[in-house]
Amino acid sequence: MRRSWLVAILGIFLASAPAVDAASKPLVIGTEPNFPPLSYLEGKRIVGFEIDLIHELAKGMGTTVRVESVTFVDQPKLLASGKLDAAISSWTITPERQKTLAFSDPYFDAGQAIVVTKASKLRTRNELKDQLVGVQEATTGDAAATRQLKTLGIKRYADIAQAFEAMDAGQLGAVVVDLPVALNELKQRNHLKIIGGTLTAERYGIAASPRRKELIQRFNAQLAQMKSDGRYAKLYAKWFGR
Protein backbone atom coordinates (compact mmCIF):
# COMPACT_ATOMS: atom_id res chain seq x y z
CA MET A 1 0.00 0.00 0.00
CA ARG A 2 2.78 2.38 0.98
CA ARG A 3 4.70 1.49 -2.18
CA SER A 4 1.64 2.22 -4.36
CA TRP A 5 1.16 5.54 -2.59
CA LEU A 6 4.80 6.51 -3.15
CA VAL A 7 4.62 5.56 -6.83
CA ALA A 8 1.48 7.64 -7.26
CA ILE A 9 3.05 10.68 -5.60
CA LEU A 10 6.22 10.28 -7.70
CA GLY A 11 4.10 10.07 -10.85
CA ILE A 12 2.30 13.30 -9.99
CA PHE A 13 5.62 15.03 -9.27
CA LEU A 14 7.18 13.93 -12.56
CA ALA A 15 4.10 14.91 -14.53
CA SER A 16 4.14 18.41 -13.07
CA ALA A 17 7.89 18.99 -13.40
CA PRO A 18 8.97 21.27 -16.29
CA ALA A 19 10.45 19.49 -19.26
CA VAL A 20 14.16 19.94 -19.88
CA ASP A 21 14.97 20.25 -23.55
CA ALA A 22 17.43 21.91 -25.91
CA ALA A 23 15.63 25.24 -25.58
CA SER A 24 16.77 25.47 -21.94
CA LYS A 25 20.45 25.14 -22.91
CA PRO A 26 22.55 28.24 -23.49
CA LEU A 27 23.27 29.16 -27.10
CA VAL A 28 26.91 28.51 -28.00
CA ILE A 29 28.25 31.61 -29.74
CA GLY A 30 31.62 31.83 -31.48
CA THR A 31 33.72 34.96 -31.66
CA GLU A 32 37.34 35.81 -32.35
CA PRO A 33 38.27 38.18 -29.50
CA ASN A 34 40.90 40.15 -31.37
CA PHE A 35 38.80 43.08 -32.57
CA PRO A 36 38.42 45.72 -29.85
CA PRO A 37 36.05 47.32 -29.10
CA LEU A 38 33.76 44.79 -30.80
CA SER A 39 35.13 41.59 -29.28
CA TYR A 40 38.34 41.26 -27.25
CA LEU A 41 39.92 39.79 -24.14
CA GLU A 42 39.96 41.67 -20.87
CA GLY A 43 42.06 39.38 -18.74
CA LYS A 44 40.41 36.02 -19.35
CA ARG A 45 36.98 37.48 -20.09
CA ILE A 46 35.67 38.09 -23.60
CA VAL A 47 34.09 41.53 -23.70
CA GLY A 48 33.04 44.16 -26.23
CA PHE A 49 30.12 45.69 -28.08
CA GLU A 50 29.26 42.46 -29.89
CA ILE A 51 29.41 40.46 -26.65
CA ASP A 52 27.08 42.83 -24.83
CA LEU A 53 24.76 42.77 -27.84
CA ILE A 54 24.49 38.98 -28.07
CA HIS A 55 23.81 38.71 -24.34
CA GLU A 56 21.07 41.33 -24.61
CA LEU A 57 19.51 39.60 -27.61
CA ALA A 58 19.54 36.26 -25.79
CA LYS A 59 17.98 37.83 -22.71
CA GLY A 60 15.09 39.10 -24.82
CA MET A 61 14.70 35.61 -26.28
CA GLY A 62 14.41 34.13 -22.80
CA THR A 63 17.70 32.25 -22.95
CA THR A 64 21.40 32.69 -22.25
CA VAL A 65 24.61 32.37 -24.25
CA ARG A 66 28.01 30.79 -23.77
CA VAL A 67 30.58 32.73 -25.76
CA GLU A 68 33.58 30.75 -26.99
CA SER A 69 36.81 31.96 -28.57
CA VAL A 70 36.98 30.57 -32.11
CA THR A 71 39.18 31.78 -34.94
CA PHE A 72 37.37 33.52 -37.75
CA VAL A 73 38.38 30.93 -40.33
CA ASP A 74 37.15 28.04 -38.14
CA GLN A 75 33.73 29.51 -37.41
CA PRO A 76 31.98 28.39 -40.65
CA LYS A 77 32.84 24.71 -40.21
CA LEU A 78 31.77 24.75 -36.54
CA LEU A 79 28.49 26.40 -37.53
CA ALA A 80 27.98 23.73 -40.19
CA SER A 81 28.72 20.90 -37.74
CA GLY A 82 26.38 22.32 -35.09
CA LYS A 83 29.13 22.85 -32.52
CA LEU A 84 28.29 26.56 -32.67
CA ASP A 85 24.72 27.85 -32.72
CA ALA A 86 25.82 31.20 -34.15
CA ALA A 87 28.83 33.50 -34.53
CA ILE A 88 29.15 37.20 -33.83
CA SER A 89 32.56 38.25 -35.05
CA SER A 90 32.34 41.28 -37.35
CA TRP A 91 30.90 39.10 -40.12
CA THR A 92 30.32 41.36 -43.11
CA ILE A 93 27.21 40.30 -45.02
CA THR A 94 28.14 39.55 -48.64
CA PRO A 95 26.37 37.68 -51.46
CA GLU A 96 29.20 35.15 -51.57
CA ARG A 97 28.96 34.38 -47.86
CA GLN A 98 25.18 34.15 -48.06
CA LYS A 99 25.61 31.09 -50.29
CA THR A 100 26.81 29.06 -47.30
CA LEU A 101 25.72 31.03 -44.22
CA ALA A 102 22.52 32.58 -42.91
CA PHE A 103 22.80 36.13 -41.58
CA SER A 104 20.74 38.25 -39.26
CA ASP A 105 19.65 41.75 -40.15
CA PRO A 106 22.62 44.15 -39.94
CA TYR A 107 23.59 45.27 -36.45
CA PHE A 108 26.53 47.52 -37.40
CA ASP A 109 27.60 49.69 -40.35
CA ALA A 110 31.32 49.66 -41.09
CA GLY A 111 33.92 49.69 -43.87
CA GLN A 112 37.59 48.96 -44.48
CA ALA A 113 40.10 51.62 -43.43
CA ILE A 114 43.78 52.05 -44.31
CA VAL A 115 45.92 52.64 -41.23
CA VAL A 116 49.51 53.93 -41.34
CA THR A 117 51.89 55.45 -38.82
CA LYS A 118 51.96 59.22 -38.41
CA ALA A 119 55.64 59.10 -39.31
CA SER A 120 54.70 57.71 -42.72
CA LYS A 121 54.71 60.01 -45.74
CA LEU A 122 51.73 58.13 -47.21
CA ARG A 123 48.66 60.30 -47.71
CA THR A 124 46.40 58.39 -50.13
CA ARG A 125 45.70 54.81 -51.20
CA ASN A 126 47.39 55.56 -54.55
CA GLU A 127 50.76 55.84 -52.80
CA LEU A 128 50.85 52.22 -51.63
CA LYS A 129 52.35 50.70 -54.79
CA ASP A 130 55.79 50.32 -53.17
CA GLN A 131 54.42 49.15 -49.81
CA LEU A 132 53.56 45.83 -48.18
CA VAL A 133 50.04 45.95 -46.71
CA GLY A 134 48.91 43.78 -43.81
CA VAL A 135 45.46 42.21 -43.42
CA GLN A 136 43.78 39.43 -41.48
CA GLU A 137 43.41 36.41 -43.74
CA ALA A 138 40.01 35.46 -45.16
CA THR A 139 38.36 38.73 -44.11
CA THR A 140 36.69 41.42 -46.20
CA GLY A 141 39.75 43.54 -45.45
CA ASP A 142 41.83 40.90 -47.20
CA ALA A 143 39.43 40.92 -50.17
CA ALA A 144 39.23 44.72 -50.39
CA ALA A 145 42.99 45.21 -50.21
CA THR A 146 43.62 42.51 -52.81
CA ARG A 147 40.95 43.82 -55.17
CA GLN A 148 41.28 47.59 -54.81
CA LEU A 149 44.85 48.45 -53.85
CA LYS A 150 47.96 48.50 -55.99
CA THR A 151 50.70 47.41 -53.58
CA LEU A 152 54.06 45.70 -53.40
CA GLY A 153 52.18 42.78 -51.87
CA ILE A 154 49.53 41.71 -49.36
CA LYS A 155 50.79 40.11 -46.16
CA ARG A 156 48.17 37.95 -44.42
CA TYR A 157 48.10 37.30 -40.69
CA ALA A 158 46.12 34.94 -38.47
CA ASP A 159 44.90 37.91 -36.41
CA ILE A 160 44.97 41.64 -36.95
CA ALA A 161 47.06 42.37 -33.84
CA GLN A 162 49.99 40.67 -35.58
CA ALA A 163 49.59 43.02 -38.54
CA PHE A 164 49.76 46.12 -36.33
CA GLU A 165 52.80 44.72 -34.54
CA ALA A 166 54.48 44.13 -37.90
CA MET A 167 53.74 47.70 -38.98
CA ASP A 168 55.17 49.05 -35.71
CA ALA A 169 58.28 46.99 -36.42
CA GLY A 170 58.64 48.60 -39.85
CA GLN A 171 57.73 45.45 -41.77
CA LEU A 172 54.55 46.92 -43.33
CA GLY A 173 53.63 50.24 -44.85
CA ALA A 174 49.93 49.99 -43.94
CA VAL A 175 47.23 47.81 -42.42
CA VAL A 176 43.71 47.41 -43.82
CA VAL A 177 41.10 46.65 -41.17
CA ASP A 178 37.45 47.26 -40.25
CA LEU A 179 36.82 50.92 -39.43
CA PRO A 180 35.67 50.42 -35.79
CA VAL A 181 38.81 48.40 -35.09
CA ALA A 182 40.93 51.06 -36.79
CA LEU A 183 39.35 53.81 -34.69
CA ASN A 184 40.00 51.84 -31.53
CA GLU A 185 43.63 51.33 -32.51
CA LEU A 186 43.99 55.08 -33.00
CA LYS A 187 42.70 55.62 -29.47
CA GLN A 188 45.15 53.09 -28.05
CA ARG A 189 48.15 54.04 -30.21
CA ASN A 190 48.46 57.76 -30.82
CA HIS A 191 51.20 57.24 -33.42
CA LEU A 192 48.69 55.92 -35.99
CA LYS A 193 46.37 57.59 -38.50
CA ILE A 194 43.83 56.69 -41.19
CA ILE A 195 44.34 57.73 -44.80
CA GLY A 196 42.17 57.71 -47.90
CA GLY A 197 38.70 57.20 -46.41
CA THR A 198 37.12 53.73 -46.39
CA LEU A 199 37.54 51.19 -49.18
CA THR A 200 34.13 49.63 -48.71
CA ALA A 201 30.69 50.11 -47.19
CA GLU A 202 29.94 47.06 -45.05
CA ARG A 203 27.28 45.84 -42.66
CA TYR A 204 27.82 43.22 -39.97
CA GLY A 205 25.37 40.39 -39.24
CA ILE A 206 25.19 37.45 -36.86
CA ALA A 207 26.12 34.29 -38.79
CA ALA A 208 24.57 30.83 -38.48
CA SER A 209 24.09 27.67 -40.49
CA PRO A 210 21.31 27.95 -43.12
CA ARG A 211 19.58 25.21 -41.11
CA ARG A 212 19.15 27.69 -38.24
CA LYS A 213 16.95 30.25 -39.99
CA GLU A 214 14.44 30.11 -37.12
CA LEU A 215 17.21 31.22 -34.74
CA ILE A 216 18.14 34.04 -37.11
CA GLN A 217 14.50 35.18 -37.15
CA ARG A 218 14.50 35.30 -33.35
CA PHE A 219 17.69 37.38 -33.38
CA ASN A 220 16.08 39.73 -35.92
CA ALA A 221 12.96 40.21 -33.80
CA GLN A 222 15.00 41.10 -30.72
CA LEU A 223 17.37 43.36 -32.66
CA ALA A 224 14.40 45.31 -34.03
CA GLN A 225 13.01 45.59 -30.50
CA MET A 226 16.31 46.86 -29.14
CA LYS A 227 16.52 49.53 -31.86
CA SER A 228 12.91 50.53 -31.19
CA ASP A 229 13.14 50.84 -27.40
CA GLY A 230 16.51 52.62 -27.28
CA ARG A 231 18.62 49.81 -25.83
CA TYR A 232 20.69 49.50 -29.01
CA ALA A 233 21.49 53.24 -28.99
CA LYS A 234 22.47 53.03 -25.32
CA LEU A 235 24.77 50.09 -25.99
CA TYR A 236 26.32 51.81 -29.01
CA ALA A 237 27.00 54.94 -26.94
CA LYS A 238 28.67 52.84 -24.23
CA TRP A 239 31.26 51.51 -26.66
CA PHE A 240 31.59 54.24 -29.29
CA GLY A 241 30.60 57.37 -27.38
CA ARG A 242 27.94 58.60 -29.79
86 sits in the region (left: phi over 0; alpha: psi -120 to 50; else beta) called beta
SS (H, E, C) 41-73: EECCEEECHHHHHHHHHHHHCCCCEEEEECCHH
The pTM is what? 0.80
Q: What confidence category does residue 2 fall into, taking pLDDT thresholds of 50, 70 and 90?
A: very low
Q: What is the pLDDT of residues 186-241, one digit of tens each?
A: 988 999 999 998 999 999 999 999 999 999 999 999 999 999 999 999 999 899 87
Query: How do strand 45-47 and strand 65-69 relate by DSSP bridges?
Result: unpaired
Query: 26-109+203-240 maps to which CATH number?
Result: 3.40.190.10
Q: Which CATH number fits domain 112-200: 3.40.190.10, 3.20.20.370, 3.40.50.300, 2.130.10.10?
A: 3.40.190.10
Ranges 6-10, 95-99, 158-162: which has the least confidence = 6-10
Q: Provide the mean pLDDT of the chain.
A: 90
Q: Structural domain boundaries of the chain?
A: 26-109+203-240, 112-200
**Domain pair 26-109+203-240 / 112-200, same fold:** yes
State whether residue 232 is helix, strand or coil.
helix
- pLDDT exceeds cutoff 50 at 116: yes
pLDDT given at position 125: 95
Query: b/e per residue, 95-106, with b = 16+ CB within 10 A?
Result: eebeeebbbbbe
Closest among 74, 34, 21, 31 to 55, alpha carbons compared: 31
Between CA 241 and CA 228 the distance in angstroms is 19
pLDDT given at position 23: 53
Of residues 19 and 53, which shows the higher confidence score?
53
pLDDT given at position 29: 98
Ranges 9-13, 50-54, 92-96, 108-112: which has the least confidence = 9-13
